Amino acid sequence: MKKRNYTSYILDADIQGFFDHIDHEWAVKFVESRIKDPNIIRLLRRMLKAGIMKDYTYEETEEGSGQGSVCSPIIANIYMQNDFIDGSLGTKEAEAIVPAVIEKIKEYPSQDVYATRDTHPADYLDTQEGRYLPLEHCIKGTPGWQIRDEISELIPEDHIFDKPTFGSVKLAETARKMNEEEPIEIELVGLCTDICVVSNALLLKAFIPEVRISVDSSGCAGVTPEKHMAALETMRSCQIQVNR
């Protein structure tokens, strides 16, 4: 009898459109079976729903994970300065959210994290804000002006924007330029919900009205709990998504 020799073959096939039709929920379940880190799962869900640019037109991704589907979310960290946490304008609610803010920042690559820094001159009490709020805070160069150490070390220095008032035009302009290059989403956390966070949220909405803007309320605190809740309702009314 003649002995047969068998040969193994490897077939490399490119199935057209395969990745365009992957079921998102099954993809997440598969990853969850191997990875238990909730941050990874959260990022996966965001990337799957990020959408793609096709022929210079944005398309939502209800299924699949096509080439170029990863959107670039950015987080704006508003006013996590010492004076707003445990300094001259600090509250127990502000101190309580610090761990949540740190964990939120760690969900994002550092290049996608931005912060604003309330910055006042030595003659603050002679300014309009100083006359309405006669309590010195965030005087440039003082310890209270600095962003909390464990937060600032997570943010690139050139992504920290000093500003003399509640809303940052530079932050809004930066976000608009980024969105012109590729679609972005923005998530806000920080202090104070009813002053700085809401001001920046509305400013961003005015500059880039088609960008999805959200605020994580667990990473925010207001001057009072009541004002915190009122500011969240104001943002909801202006089509800013409030996450808890």
pLDDT single digits (tens) 93-126: 999 999 999 999 998 989 999 999 999 999 999 9
109 and 174 housed in the same domain? yes
Domain-located, residue 7: no
Q: 55 and 78: one domain?
A: no
Contacts of 92 (CB under 8 A, 6+ apart): none
Task: Evaluate whether residue 147 is within a structural domain.
Answer: yes
Residue 4 domain-assigned?
no
Q: Which domain holds residue 93?
A: 72-243
User: In this predicted structure, what is the pLDDT of residue 134?
Assistant: 94
pTM: 0.71
Phi-psi region of 45 (alpha: psi -120 to 50; beta: other; left: phi over 0): alpha
84 occurs within a structural domain: yes
Q: What is the CATH number of the domain that holds 135?
A: 3.40.50.850
- Which amino acid type is present at position 13? A
- Asked whether residue 33 falls in the same domain as residue 137, the answer is no
Is 10 part of any domain? no
Distance CA 236, CA 104 (A): 21
One domain for residues 80 and 34: no
**How many structural domains compose the chain?**
2
61 pLDDT tier (thresholds 50, 70, 90): confident
Q: Does residue 66 form part of some domain?
A: no
Q: Find out whether 185 and 75 touch, Cβ atoms under 8 Å.
A: no
Same domain, 147 and 223: yes
36-48 tens-digit pLDDT: 566 666 767 777 7
Q: Is 203 found in the same domain as 125?
A: yes
110 plus 163 within the same structural domain: yes
Instruction: Specify whether 47 is located in the same domain as 143.
Output: no
Same domain, 113 and 210: yes
Pair (46, 149) in one structural domain: no
Do 101 and 173 fall within a single domain?
Answer: yes
